[in-house]
Structure 1
Amino acid sequence: MPEHIPAVELDEIDYESLGGGSLVSNLLAGAFAGIMEHTVMYPIDAIKTRMQIMNPSPSAMYNGIAHAAGKISATEGVRSLWRGIASVAVGAGPAHAIYFATYESVKHNLGGNIGNEHHPFVAGFAGACATTASDALMNPFDVVKQRMQVHGSTYKSIGDCAKTVYRLEGLKAFYISYPTTLAMTIPFTAIQFAAYDSLSKFFNPRRGYDPMSHCLSGGLAGAVAASVTTPLDVIKTLLQTRGTARDERIRNCKGLFDAAKIIHEREGMRGFMRGLQPRIVTTMPSTAICWTAYEMAKFYLIRNSAESSRAS
C-alpha cells in the first residue's frame, strides 16, 4: 500500500457519503468532463485516426506520433490537426452528461455507493450501461469528426460534412459502426470504471475528494482499457471512414466482421494494433482529465447544493 495521498477537505463535507449526487449535478459535471477530455488531446486523436487508415496515399503515411505531427503541420498546416473539433465539442457535452448520469444512477441503484466498500463489478456494469446510452448520441458526431480528420478532407464545416455524408451514403453511414463502437466501448468502459474504482481505493482509501488520486487513477485506468480495446478501435475507424477510401472493397465493407476480415487478410494480426501508441498517449491524459474534471465539478456542485440547503 503506497503512502496515503491526503484528501482535500472543504467545509467538512464528506464527499463519498453524498453518494452519486443529484441528476443535475451529474449531468453538468459529466458535460464539463466530456468537453475537457475530448478537446485537450484532440490533435493526438487526429494523428491516431490518420495512422489507422488502411491503404493511405504515400503522402499520408506516418512513422510515429512525432513524424506524423511534423509532416501534417509542414504540408497541411498546424490547424489541420484541429479539423473536426467542433463536432466533438458539440457532441461530447450532451453525450457525457448522459454517460455520467447513467453511470451514477445505475451504480447507486445497485448499491455501489454504500459505505466505503469496494465495488469494481458494480462500477464496471454501470459503466457499460453508461456507454451504451451515450454512444447512441455520440456516434454520428464521431463519424463526422473522423471524416474531417482524414488526409485530403475537403469538408468546409461539420454541417457540410454531415449533409454530404447523408446525401451520398444515407443515415446508415452514421450508425454502421455503432455495433463495433459498443463492442469496443462496453469492455473499454467496464475495464476503465472497474480499474478506476480499484485504483481509487488503492491510492485514496478514504475516498475523499483528492484531485491527485483522481488524476492518477483515471490515467492508469484509461491506459489499461485503451491497450486492450485497440483492435476494435482500428475496425471502427475503417467503418467510419470507409466512404473516403479509394479501395472498392473497403468502401463496400458491411460491418464489424467484414472489416476484421479485410484487416487480417491484408496486414495480419499486427494490423489490429495500428495506432496503439497514439491511442494510449491520447487516452491516458484524456481519462485523467475526464475523471479529475468530473470529480471536481461534482464536488463543487454538491458542495454548493449542501451549502444552499444549510442556508435555507
Structure 2
Amino acid sequence: MAQPNVVPEEDYDYEALPPNFSLLQNMAAGAFAGIAEHCAMYPIDAVKTRMQIVNPSAGSVYSGVFQSTYKMASTEGILSLWRGMSSVIVGAGPAHAVYFATYEAVKHVMGGNQAGVHHPLAAATSGACATIASDALMNPFDVIKQRMQIAESAKLYRSMTDCAKYVYKNEGIKAFYVSYPTTLSMTVPFTALQFLAYESISTSMNPTKAYDPFTHCVAGAVAGGFAAALTTPMDVIKTMLQTRGSAHDAELRTVNGFMAGCRLLFKREGAKGFFKGVQPRVLTTMPSTAICWSAYEASKAYFIRQNDSASESST
C-alpha cells in the first residue's frame, strides 16, 4: 500500500510554516496571541492614554506610571483600569488572526522561510503588510477603547456598544478612521522594526530555529521595547485624534490629521510633548510583545505537534 506524503519534522524549519500547518490554525494561533497580549497589560495601557491627553483639565493631569495608577484606582475604583477592555477582546482576536496570517503569507512569498538563512527585508516587509491589514480591522475598536479609557468616560458610556453608538451619532463614521493614517504612520515602522529586531535576535539566539520559549520571550520583549520607544511621537498624535471628540478645547476638537496634530502639540508642549507616555508605552509593550510572540509560537508548535501525530497515526 502506498504511503501518504508525510513531511518529516526534520525536513522543514520550525519557523517556515510547514505544509501541515494550515491557514486556519495559523489564524487561531494569532488570535490567541493577540488577546493574551492586550489583556495582560491593559491597565498600563489605560495609564498611558491618560498621560498622553493634551491640555487635560486641572483634575485630570497624570504625570507618572505609579502616580497615575494610584490616582485612577483611588478616585474611580480599581476596575477603571480595565474600562474598555471588552473592545480589545472583541477586536484583537480577528485583527491578530489577520496580522499573523498576512505575516506568514508575505514572508513565504518573499523567501523568508528558507531554513538557515536570515532575511531581514522579508521580515520587515511582512510585518509592514501585516499591520496595514490588521489595523484596518482594529482601528474602530481602538477608538472605542481609548474613548472609554479617558476620565469622563464613565459618565458618558455604559458599555462598548454604547460608546460606539455615541461616537457615531455625534461624530459620524469618519471618527472611527480619522486616526487610521496616523495609526499606520506609527504601526508600520513599529511593526517593521519589531519584526526585523525579533527575527534578528531570535536567529542570533537560536540559529537552528527550533521551538524555544525563552528565545521567543526575550526576543519579543527587546524587539517590542525598541520599536515602541522610537514610535512614541506617532502614538501621542494617534491618541489626540482618537480622543478629540471628548475634548473640551475647541482647537483640539478640530484637529483633523497627523500634521495638524503635530503643529498643535508642538505649539502647546514643545518637542518634549512628542514623548508623553513613553515610559508606560515601553513598559506595556515589552511584556505584551513577549507574551504575544510566546503565545503565538507556543500555539504554532502545538498545532505542528498535533498535525504530526495525526499524520503518523494515519500511516
Instruction: Tell me if TM exceeds 0.5.
Output: yes
1:269 corresponds to: 271
2:123 corresponds to: 123
1:4 corresponds to: none
Q: How does 1:194-205 map to 2 (within 5 A)?
A: 194-205=196-207
1:47 corresponds to: 47
Q: Which runs of 5+ in 1 are unaligned?
A: 1-11
SS of the equivalent of 1:241 reads helix
Distance 2:95 2:234 in 1: 21
Match of 2:16 among 16, 19, 31: 19
User: Is the 2:99–2:133 contact (alpha carbons within 8 Å) kept by the matching residues of 1?
Assistant: yes
1:292 corresponds to: 294
Q: How does 1:1-312 map to 2 (within 5 A)?
A: 13-14=9-10, 16-17=13-14, 19-20=16-17, 21-153=21-153, 154=155, 155-312=157-314
2:5 corresponds to: none
Shift of 1:183: 0.6
**Residues matched between the structures, number:** 301
Shift of 1:22: 2.0
Alignment CA distance shift 1:212-1:18 (3 Å): closer
SS of the equivalent of 1:54 reads coil
User: Is the 2:14–2:210 contact (alpha carbons within 8 Å) kept by the matching residues of 1?
Assistant: no
Structure 1, residues 222-246: CA drift from partner, whole Å, max 9, x if none?
A: 0000000000000000000000101
Distance 1:17 1:36 in 2: 22
User: Is the 1:13–1:303 contact (alpha carbons within 8 Å) kept by the matching residues of 2?
Assistant: no
Distance 1:128 1:90 in 2: 23
Identity of aligned residues (%): 58
Distance 1:111 1:310 in 2: 29
Shift of 1:16: 2.5
Shift of 1:13: 4.1
Shift of 1:17: 4.6
1:9 corresponds to: none
Structure 1, residues 278-307: CA drift from partner, whole Å, max 9, x if none?
A: 000000000000000000001101111121
Shift of 1:167: 0.3
Residue 173 of structure 1 aligns with an amino acid whose one-letter code is: A
User: Is the 2:16–2:115 contact (alpha carbons within 8 Å) kept by the matching residues of 1?
Assistant: no
Cα RMSD (Å): 1.1
Structure 1, residues 252-290: CA drift from partner, whole Å, max 9, x if none?
A: 111111011100111111000000000000000000000
* Bigger mean CA deviation after superposition, 191-200 or 113-122: 113-122
Residue 16 of structure 1 aligns with an amino acid whose one-letter code is: D
SS of the equivalent of 2:231 reads helix
Residue 268 of structure 2 aligns with an amino acid whose one-letter code is: R
Structure 1, residues 173-201: CA drift from partner, whole Å, max 9, x if none?
A: 00000000001000000000000000001
Alignment CA distance shift 1:18-1:194 (3 Å): closer
Residue 177 of structure 1 aligns with an amino acid whose one-letter code is: S
Alignment CA distance shift 1:276-1:17 (3 Å): closer
Distance 1:47 1:209 in 2: 34
Residue 30 of structure 2 aligns with an amino acid whose one-letter code is: G
User: Is the 1:25–1:302 contact (alpha carbons within 8 Å) kept by the matching residues of 2?
Assistant: no
Residue 142 of structure 1 aligns with an amino acid whose one-letter code is: D
Shift of 1:63: 2.3
Distance 1:232 1:55 in 2: 17
- Normalised to the residue count of structure 1, the TM-score between the two structures is 0.95
Residue 115 of structure 1 aligns with an amino acid whose one-letter code is: A
- Normalised to the residue count of structure 2, the TM-score between the two structures is 0.94
